[in-house]
Structure 1
Amino acid sequence: MDYKAYALVAILMASVASVGVVGAAYAQTLTIETDKDSYASGDEITISGQLTAPTINQPILIRVFDPDGNFVRSEILDAAADGSYSYTFTSGGPLMAKSGTYRVQATYAGTVNQETTFEFQATEETWRTFNIRVGGQTFPVQYRITGGSVQNMVPDEATATLTVTISSTSDGNLQIRLPRNVIDSRDGADGRSGSDLDFAVFIDDENVTPEQTEATVDRRTLSIDFANGTETIEIVGTWAVPEFGAIAAIVLAVAIVGIIVATARYGKFNFAPRL
């Protein structure tokens, strides 16, 4: 009996087995799940999972697709030291307007893919109204927002800008109906006539591209995505109603003239309290 041959075969089999064990130990695995099975508009969706790899040196790509397979959103995440990862966003907005089964995909190193699904019920959000007070007049501006709340709206005639101050709690979306008697963007010499031009939009001084979803004789509607932490959204056109209207300007001018006349006649005002 050739014991050397048997010994050689045994060594080879042991080598193959050890390679398999080492390969399994260094295999890359990825899991993915959502915190709930179903959501409605305005709910927060948390996607999480675990990455196992010999060296975690690349980010994880998260992508969400609607029931028709259309791309909804994506996020690039860095896994923690233990390989865990988590991503939270607020559902709803124009890209999540369809009800049905949504698919979530996680990809690592371009080759390791895992998917999960969740059910989503889209609900029509109610338009809210913010009343801008200008020169004794009220200009209602309708809006709806996810991921935060609107704190203030201020027009500026000099820069043809409507500044919207928000308090954001997560990534979100602002849909705003812009009355043409408040702000507009056109190619006419006066900024109020001619063909429509695109509005310029700045989120915390960074230029972004909004989506115009409606344009009528009386208004234009913009859809603006923003990130968590956003504080101001500036919408720049070619004309905006002045913060101080004509009546307020006249009252202010009369007051200034009165002060000048009184000062010339009686000298400087003395605001010190009488004893």
Structure 2
Amino acid sequence: MGYKSYALMAILLASLVTVGFAGAAYAQAASLTVSTDSSEYATGDNIIVSGTVGTIKAGQPVLIQILDPTNNVDRVDQITVMADGTYSYTLRAGGIMNTSGTYTVVVTYDGSSKETTFEFTATGKPTANTVPLTIDGKTYDIEYSISGGSLKSLTADVDLATLTAQITSTADGNLTLKLPREVMQALSVDGPTGGTDIEYAAFADQVPTILDETATTSEYRTVSIMFEMGTSEIDLVGTWIVPEFGTIAVIVLAVSIVGIVAAARYNKFSFMPKFG
């Protein structure tokens, strides 16, 4: 056999090996799947996301992201993989998800990502609810909406610049509060004015939870706070509540934010994504 024949065989073998590796890599990527139980949903519907991961990596969760029609993240969570390599996640349409259009579900596992889409229709107008908030003998009517439960009361701790909502929750949901700046603030400086807006901190039954600021004006800040079924108390921490505040309020908010970052880093609550 001439050297040309040997060379041809070597090329063929190399091609087969390359194809084999490419096929294996493709099979590994293709093993991650994602789908929803329907292609269309409306406010109040349950959305079930499910799929498979192929090869299971011990202790590795599936990261799920729900993106709205403008590609903003509406929800982030982690899902435990079952022993058979499948996963399932249920969320309720509504709350922060309040814009009709095409939503994208992105799942990530062991370096691979897959996505699917569904259509969402926001139905009905938000109920114009108000809850009385009494501070030092003066009552403010705070606009709110809630999915997955009902709001029982709203109280304030002026010294800690904290609002506490007592709720009854029958499902996972969101509590949305339209907060007048004259009542509560979260600012980079001490006092009710000046500086710049900073994020509030939110807790559901004393556990850090996801908060989304859905609207901001010169008079109001509207926040939507996520809670799980069974939650009975939600705390919202800022830096100032009428009529006065103490330096301790700023310290409380700073400690709250540090606690949330630490909890996320060390995976103390499941719905936050892991990085690194």
TM-score normalized with structure 1 length: 0.62
* Residues 70 and 135 (structure 1), Cα distance of their counterparts in 2 relative to 1, 3 Å cut: closer
CA RMSD of superposed structures (Å): 4.1
Q: Among the aligned pairs, what percent are the same residue? A: 41
**Equivalence map 1:1-275=2 (5 Å):** 28=28, 29-53=31-55, 55-57=56-58, 58-94=60-96, 96-111=97-112, 113-123=113-123, 124-132=125-133, 138-179=139-180, 182-184=183-185, 191-192=191-192, 198=198, 200-203=200-203, 204-205=205-206, 211=213, 213-217=215-219, 219-236=220-237, 237-240=239-242
Distance 2:104 2:202 in 1: 31
Distance in 1 of aligned mates of 2:80 and 2:187 = 44
**1:196 CA displacement:** 6.8
Structure 1: segments with no counterpart, 5+ residues: 1-15, 243-275
Corresponding residue number in structure 1 for 2:263: none
Deviation, structure 1 residue 192: 4.9
Q: Could you tell me how far 1:122 is from its partner in structure 2?
A: 2.1
Q: Measure, in 1, the Cα distance between the counterparts of 2:89 and 2:32.
A: 15
Q: Give a deviation string over 1:206-248, Cα, whole Å, max 9, x none.
A: 567652623344x443333445554333234423469xxxxxx
**1:44 alignment partner AA:** N
Contact 2:186 2:200 in 1 (8 A): no
**Bigger radius of gyration among the two:** 1
- Tell me, yes or no, if the aligned pair for 2:188 and 2:198 is still in contact at 8 Å: no
The one-letter code of the counterpart of 1:118 is F
- For the residue of structure 2 that corresponds to 1:39, the secondary structure is strand
Matched-pair contact (CA < 8 Å) for 2:214–2:222:
yes
1:103 corresponds to which letter in structure 2? T
* Residues 1:215 and 1:45: Cα distance change in structure 2 (over 3 Å): same
- Tell me how far 1:48 sits from its aligned partner: 1.1
C-alpha distance after superposition, 1:169-200 (max 9, x if no partner): 454332212245644567898x4565675474
The Cα shift of 1:105 comes to 2.8
Within 2, Cα distance between the matches of 1:39 and 1:212? 21
Looking at structure 2, the residues matched to 97 and 66 of structure 1 have their Cα atoms a distance apart, in angstroms, of 9
Partner residue, 1:6? none
Of 198-207 and 27-36, deviating more is: 198-207
Alpha-carbon separation, structure 2, partners of 1:39 and 1:240: 41
Asked if the contact 2:177–2:223 (Cα under 8 Å) also holds between the matched residues in 1, the reply is: yes
SS at structure 1 position matched to 2:53: strand
State the distance in 1 between where 2:90 and 2:229 align: 11
Cα-to-partner distance string for 1:132-155 (whole Å, 9 max, x where unaligned): 456776432110123433222112
Report how many residues are paired: 221
- Conserved 8 A contact 2:133-2:139: yes
What SS does the corresponding residue of 1:80 show, helix, strand or coil?
Answer: coil
